[in-house]
Amino acid sequence: MIAQVGDRIIIKGTHVGDRIRVGVIMALRHADGTPPYEVRWLDDGHVGLIFPGPEAHIEHPAGPA
């Protein structure tokens, strides 16, 4: 998984009833874009360090049209 600052990380739940979490990558710990990432979660504004698992994926922001 490779990300850049400003990308969104989406974490899908692994159990019935789990919610999907979406966060914005605020900082990288490695210059090559590999985890861990500092993420600001959109649902509650919490900022934390994440080591994403297989249920996560990265979305790059859409460029200008």
Token readout for 41 is 């979660």
Amino acid at 54: P
Token readout for 63 is 């460029």
Question: How many CA atoms lie less than 13 Å away from 30 in the CB half-sphere?
Answer: 11
Q: Look up the pTM and report it.
A: 0.85
Residue with tokens 């922001």: 61
The rounded percent of the chain whose pLDDT value lies above 90 is: 80
Residue 13: predicted pLDDT? 83
